[in-house]
Structure 1
Amino acid sequence: MSYCPFFQTLHDETRPVGNLGRGTHYSVLRAPVWHDEFMNRLERCTFLDFAIIWDEDHDDRVIDAIMVLYISGLLAPVRYIGERKGTLSVLLAPDVVRRWDPETLEQ
């Protein structure tokens, strides 16, 4: 399934699997980015692979939030994005969390 013309779908589970929660599942998408995980501009684009962790209803409105990050140039440090009961969780690359100051992380 293609969620957005800017992202390539590498793996897609469209329905709940396993016994975690009421059917958690995931997708892996790839996007071209022009910043490294610390938001330093790159001379050439690179590809970012990131996961979406879905809850049982596979609410693809999470793609809208990802698009806002992407078009704002803020997707590069993201590794996982999860949606559960209307709450969006964004997990960043571990080195980013260790290096960035709390104020930058809050933004």
Structure 2
Amino acid sequence: MHNLDEWLPSCSPYITKFVYDIDKRELVIEFALDSKEFKPHTRIVCSGIKSYSENNMDDETHDDCLDGILDLNWNEIAGTFLVVTDKKEILLTIENKPVRVIIT
């Protein structure tokens, strides 16, 4: 099974919200149902973040471009969650397995 099929079933890979709250030690990513209506459909919540590292995939900043998920990978043994988008790669060390919530 492809990781996106597990984490984002019946949902587009397009990101509508990406917020890392350092005080709460929480990352929230929301995804659109489709590219036409662009309404939030699925939310991934990572809580209990112990470490957060981010690498830009490109030297240039493309803030006006839509960002999308390429891969989401949870490693239960290591307690890590890898988030790869068109623009960046984020590696989290977390206390809990990420949670998927269907918004609509």
TM value normalised by structure 1: 0.31
Structure number with higher relative contact order (C-alpha < 8 Å, ≥ 6 residues apart): 2
If each structure's strand is expressed as a fraction of its own residues, which one has the higher value? Answer: 2
Q: TM-score, normalised by structure 2?
A: 0.31
More helix by share: 1
